[in-house]
Amino acid sequence: MTRQLLIVIIALLINIKLFGQANVLVKSDSIVYPIHKENIGKIAFMGQVVPIENFKETDFLKSFELKEKTDFNIRVFLDNSLTNQLHLLSPELTADELTKNGNYQFTFWIDNKIIYVENLNASAGSAENKNLRTIFRVPFISSTDEDSWGRFLWNRFLINGGQEAFTDGEHILKIEIRPYLKLTEVIAGNIIAEGEIKIIVPEIIIDEKLVQLQAVNPLNDWQISADEFDKSRIEELNRKIATQAFKDITSIAVIKDGKLLIEEYFNGADRDTLHDTRSVGKSFASAILGIAVQDGYIKNETQMLNNFYDMKAFQNYSTSKDSITLKSLLTMSSPFDGSDMNQESPGNEENMYPTSDWVEFTLNLPIDKSKAAAARWDYFTAGVVVIGDIINKSVPEGLEKYADNRLFQPLGINNYKWQYTPQKVANTAGSLQLRTIDYAKFGQLYKNEGEWNGKQILTKEWISKSLSRQMRISENENYGYLFWNKTFNVDGVDYEVYYSSGNGGNNIFIFKDQPIVIVVTSTAYNTPYGHSQVDRIMQNYLIPAIAN
């Protein structure tokens, strides 16, 4: 062997060794199955699960009819484990740092258009699997409701555009998988697996009458608007609701310039239906408290809990409890150790409901020292129960009669239904049931700065405080006095709204700079799509159809 050839061989071996070291941080599973070797970098689609040792290319689905209560899985073939793929993005990090800050990025395409991209939460999947696995299965639809992050990923894809894009007929679904790391910013790598399949969406036969605009019948409480709007877009929305592209929507009402413009009912609801809008009722608690302040039964929202309770009589007493204000309960910024967003929180609402006294449950809670040190927003239903109890103690004849005399009757609202606490006090935390057009009255009351039919029901000052950015939640989300705030951007134009919000996608939207109030009711309780589909309805249909 010549000296020159020997040098070339040694150089090649060194390069191969260096390349391998750069690409390997942890030892991953070996590639042993022929089906794996032949399909590295590919995503195989399958129906029922076939064990990998028996899996053949003839088991790869070429097409799939999209329906519920069936099985739809992918099997992913990689040349290296996720941790080693992440290592290429940030070679200086340890395996533990990589698995804690990275995961797979999924990109869903339909008919050559990107529909949804998600960086899978870093906590999805174990560190061991990220280190080892070069082949894995992800269930998207499961006839047995298999517990997996894959089913939630698939639902989020459907919620965020997939459902709308899967119109009747045939479509090409393509999925790309990349590694990603989130450090100071998100870094995504190259595609490590991809695949596509024909999706067949069966036609849903509907009565075309369900698509047509519903007539707005005369009623005493509202003038009917003659304003023009994009009727074809509303009919397109109606079709989406009728075909269950948008699920469980029960009503939509649009008020423009104080007049009823659109009134639509779905899924068995009608004008007389009382809708359980869950936490939309919290905004009514804010209004009733504002009226009680206005009438002098409560001094102001800066009053503290020790003005209404002997806090030493409750568990976990501290001086911090004495100084908790009504305002902090209105803005979800009290220091109670309670969070509905954290299942492990002592004050989570699910821990409250089984107890015999919800107020006592709340006032017994300890203080979260981190909240006490720096007020921060944290959704806390139990605090609104305390607001209701304070109102009930302070006003003549209790909260229920007071609300009827000072809020509902002045608005001409006669048909409604409260839920009650174990102490038979009207539950201000939610589930106050009204008709859609009566929720619209409540929204219009705030749009009118507290005035209704020439009478000032709420002061302008209270309306201003309620519909203001009292607490910052996120970049596009704020909170007032039991009202939310965000901005929709449609065709480059911002539409800022304050709104009541309840489980399942129930909302009263009050536009800040437009003479518009919109009510949407839904029964999509505890679903992953309840709120997000209402945002898409607003973004893609209602605002474009009615806004100037």
Q: How far apart are CA 505 and CA 519, in angstroms?
A: 10
- Residue 4: its pLDDT value, please? 54
486 φ/ψ angles, rounded to the nearest 5 degrees: -160, 180
Amino acid sitting at position 280: V
If you ran DSSP here, which 8-state letter would residue 53 be given?
G
Closest Cα to residue 123, out of 147, 150, 109, 102? 102
Amino acid sitting at position 375: A
Q: How far apart are CA 331 and CA 370, in angstroms?
A: 17
509 φ/ψ angles, rounded to the nearest 5 degrees: -100, 125
418 φ/ψ angles, rounded to the nearest 5 degrees: -90, 155
| Sites in the chain below the pLDDT cut of 70 | 1-23, 548
β partners of residue 495: 488
Q: How far apart are the first and last CA of the chain?
A: 83
- Residue 22: its pLDDT value, please? 46
Sign of the CA dihedral with 315 first, then 319, 320, and 326 last: positive
Closest Cα to residue 333, out of 384, 277, 389? 384
Place of tokens 């990109």: 107
178 φ/ψ angles, rounded to the nearest 5 degrees: -130, 160
- Residue 296: its pLDDT value, please? 98
Closest Cα to residue 419, out of 435, 437, 434? 434
Q: How far apart are CA 336 and CA 494, in angstroms?
A: 35
Residues 6+ apart with CB under 8 A from 458: 287, 290, 291, 294, 445, 446, 450
- Residue 2: its pLDDT value, please? 55
What does 401-459 look like in DSSP terms, one character per residue?
Answer: HHHIIIIITTTT---EE--B-TTS-B-TTS--EE-HHHHHHHHHHHHTTTEETTEESS-
- Residue 11: its pLDDT value, please? 43
Reported pTM: 0.84
- Buried residues in 310-321 as b, exposed as e (16+ CB within 10 A): ebeebeebeebb
Q: What residue segments make up the domains of the chain, in order of their start?
A: 25-201, 208-267+434-546, 298-394
Q: How far apart are CA 530 and CA 502, in angstroms?
A: 10
If you ran DSSP here, which 8-state letter would residue 213 be given?
P
Tens digits of per-residue pLDDT, 128-158?
Answer: 999 999 999 999 999 998 989 999 999 999 9
CA distances from 352 to 285, 348, 421 (A): 19, 7, 11
